[in-house]
Amino acid sequence: MLAATVRVTRDIDAAEEAVQDAYVQALRTWADDGVPDRPGAWLTTVSRRNALNAMRRGRTLAAKLPLLVGSEGDEAVPDPIPDDRLRLIFTCCHPALAREAQVALTLRLVCGVATPDVAQAFLVAEATMAARLTRAKKKISAARIPYAVPGADELPERLEAVLTVIHLLYATGHTAHSGEDLVRDDLTARALDLARMLRLLLPADREVAGLLALLLAHHARRATRTDAGGRLLRLEEQDRTAWDRDLIAEADRLVVASLSGGPPGRFGLQAAIAALHAEAPSYERTDWAQIRTLYDVLLGLWPSPVVALNRAVAVSMVDGPNAALAEVETLERDGRLAGYRYLPATKADLLHRLGRDGEAAEAYRAALALSGNTAEQEFLAERLRFTGSR
């Protein structure tokens, strides 16, 4: 009975609670109506229903997004697939290797990118990258990092590292920190290929579905992120008719798969947020309240100041810029985002919306000083001129 209920909740504590409640209900109901023909089946059914109800109650999110509550048909993940590429990617993304080595090895060994190109992607000298790769390969061999798909008990944690690496690859390509081109198509294409491959190899994993959905939802908007002159366009300025509807639809289906059958994961939630943006008819008519709720859940799962900063933007659309500014200022005092250019940029935008242009200009200048990307610098410089002209 517990196992059947765990299948619904994917959480033994929650399942135990649901089963206990079912016994309590049984004591009451059976006293009035008599013991049912198959008391075991009765208890199992009630336990599972209790579990589902608890999950619905437990998350405001679940009320807003019914698809978050698992369908009962979605069974456990099948045995890990013995595929060479899968083994290789788990080796490259082994937690015993530094993150930068994981990313470089994955590009080099899984994607087959030549070392000079890997070096260029991460803006380091070829010799530096070659040394980094050699050192990592040496550790794999000396420490005997296994070439294997981890066992079921370790899989979620190890898979998270793989997903993080792929996401990092995409993000690096998507917003190159330095250089002329905002998007390095090569990296984003490689990351998408990897996510698709992983989806094929691990079709039952919900976070894999989430990552692919997240990348697709971003990729659908790639053509509209800059104008013809290479100037960075804000989300509200982008031409939504030019977004790739097929990719958005695909992302949406994957979000549903990612959020069905268990508690939501980090990538599934980020994908749900990206999909809501991609499906909104306009910036103003975006479902900001739901996005904020999704950020609340995400923050509970992943207490990162970057997530909190993104949440503040949603807060500004629901409760106004004043409420959001207070949160951004809290983050600023927290200090963990010192040097993160999106913090002063977000703050500047909020101050501008509040008509405090002097302070906004100061914050834009702070963001400008932190950005190494030409397109981004031009964008910020233009925002700065805009605050000055009012």
Interaction site with another protein (CB under 8 A): 94, 96, 142-146, 148, 150, 154
Asked if 265 contacts 210 with a C-beta cutoff of 8 angstroms, the reply is: yes
Closest to another protein by CB, 86 vs 257, is 86
The helix or strand, by DSSP H or E, that contains position 179, with its residue range, turns out to be strand 178-179
Asked if 29 contacts 43 with a C-beta cutoff of 8 angstroms, the reply is: no
Can you tell me which residue has the tokens 């996510």?
195
Closest to another protein by CB, 89 vs 257, is 89
CB of 92 to another protein, least distance (A): 14
Structure tokens at 307: 């997530």
Asked if 260 contacts 10 with a C-beta cutoff of 8 angstroms, the reply is: no
Q: How many CB atoms lie within 10 A of CB 154?
A: 13
CB of 150 to another protein, least distance (A): 7
Torsion of CA 70, 71, 76, 80, to 10 degrees: -90
CB of 146 to another protein, least distance (A): 4
CB of 105 to another protein, least distance (A): 15
CB of 147 to another protein, least distance (A): 9
Closest to another protein by CB, 58 vs 150, is 150
Closest to another protein by CB, 3 vs 148, is 148
Torsion of CA 277, 213, 65, 221, to 10 degrees: 10
Classify residue 115 by burial, with Cβ atoms within 10 Å: 0-12, 13-18, 19+.
middle
Closest to another protein by CB, 91 vs 106, is 91
CB of 145 to another protein, least distance (A): 5
* Distance between CA atoms of residues 373 and 371, nearest Å: 6
Closest to another protein by CB, 14 vs 140, is 140
Closest to another protein by CB, 161 vs 274, is 161
DSSP calls for 269-330: HHHHHHHHHHH-SSSTTS-HHHHHHHHHHHHHHS--HHHHHHHHHHHHHHH-HHHHHHHHHH
Asked if 242 contacts 273 with a C-beta cutoff of 8 angstroms, the reply is: no
CB of 207 to another protein, least distance (A): 21
